[in-house]
Amino acid sequence: MKFGIFFELSVPQPLARGAETKSYQDALEQCRLADELGFTTAWAVEHHFLQEYSHCSAPEVFLTAAAMTTERIRVGHGGVVCVPQINHPIRVAERAAVLDIVSGGRLDVGTARASTITELGGFLADPDSTKISWDEYVHVLPRLWTEERTAYEGTTFSFPERPVVPKPVQDPHPPLWVTVTSPGTERDAADRGIGCLGVAAASFKEQEARTADYRKRIQQCEPVGAVVNDQVATMNYLFCHEDDAVASRVGGAMFTGFGLLNSHLLWAREVYPTPAYRSLGNLAAGSVAQIRHDDPGEQRPIPDGIAIGSPDQIIKAIGIWESIGVDAINFLLNTTDLVPQEQVLESMRMFAAEVMPHFAKETR
């Protein structure tokens, strides 16, 4: 089992001067500590126009800063938006290659289609074409990284033959992933031989079904790249504290706060109904929003599988994720500054000291 960290770079509203700077500085400090503690990857999303939820619109810059102040931890796009109006594929290939070079070959490239009409509409991009463009990107990116000269004639973009430079350090090229929110995307990943990067929390049952389907299908894949990346990663939340009550109170605020921000985005999908995007509650089955209580003032329990609690509790949860075939868990550490930075860092230290050793054979 590998453990990573995952950044949305959310910033509390109303936006105060220096709040974005603090969010970025805190995240970079978390990256440095994660590197020291043995976490494997630091992932950063790409979002645009999503005030409060995510101010991470230039992840390649953030990831470069993270790479420059760390030694071992990998840096990952979680993932770069594969829409021509937002990121031309040649520019994606170029930026990724440079980041792979300056990081010493520590880059993972996750791909995505963007989440809402808020983002796509801001660039006048057509939501109905994003699945087509994503498919074209994942086929052409490995070519741009490995071929001396490349030309492409496609449906959503085309370009004449050119030598795209520089080339990545990793041979043959950085691992490719696709971000997974709704069921079915894991099949797209498997069929193309790329990693399954879960970016929405899923229940044990749902993740087990997705993982089994992925494992079966990838055996017959037609790889888009020169190497198959057959890993399954899922997103989770982390707050580790020796006192379960403290962990539930502090980590629970972060968990429910992020869920609230995330739920606001769901309605943005309804503005432009399209079969290219499923209408879904982007929340795990069994989430706090679905748990009923007779007393509205009662503190709601943390759902099963969420890594918020004492080390023993978290070990049990991770053991189940491991048993259903998940290769890696990427943790959201904070949202809108709901957890003080020193408590975030202390949680990371306790997790590394008391939880990671139980899975040490799979951590590095």
| CATH code where residue 242 lies | 3.20.20.30
- Give me 34's structure tokens: 């994660």
What pLDDT digit, counting tens, does each position of 48-75 carry? 999 999 999 999 999 999 999 999 999 9
For 105-243, strand residue ranges (E) read 107-112, 150-153, 158-162, 176-180, 195-198, 232-240
Q: What is the mean pLDDT of residues 102-126?
A: 93
Q: Which residue has the higher pLDDT, 263 or 129?
A: 129
Least confident of 13-22, 62-71, 291-300: 291-300
For residues 189 and 187, what is the distance between their CA atoms, to the nearest angstrom? Answer: 5
> Which stretch of DSSP H or E encloses residue 183?
none
What pLDDT digit, counting tens, does each position of 173-197 carry? 999 999 998 778 999 999 999 999 9
What are the DSSP calls for 61-119, one per residue? HHHHHHHHT-SS-EEEEEEEE--TTT--HHHHHHHHHHHHHHTTS-EEEEEE--S-HHH
pLDDT band at residue 302 under the 50/70/90 scheme = confident
Structural domain range at position 131? 2-363
pLDDT reported for residue 183: 78
Q: How many domains does the chain have?
A: 1
- Give me 272's structure tokens: 């432009």
Mean model confidence pLDDT for the chain: 91
pLDDT band at residue 115 under the 50/70/90 scheme = confident
pLDDT band at residue 139 under the 50/70/90 scheme = very high
Beta bridge partners of 240: 309
The whole model's pTM is what?
0.92
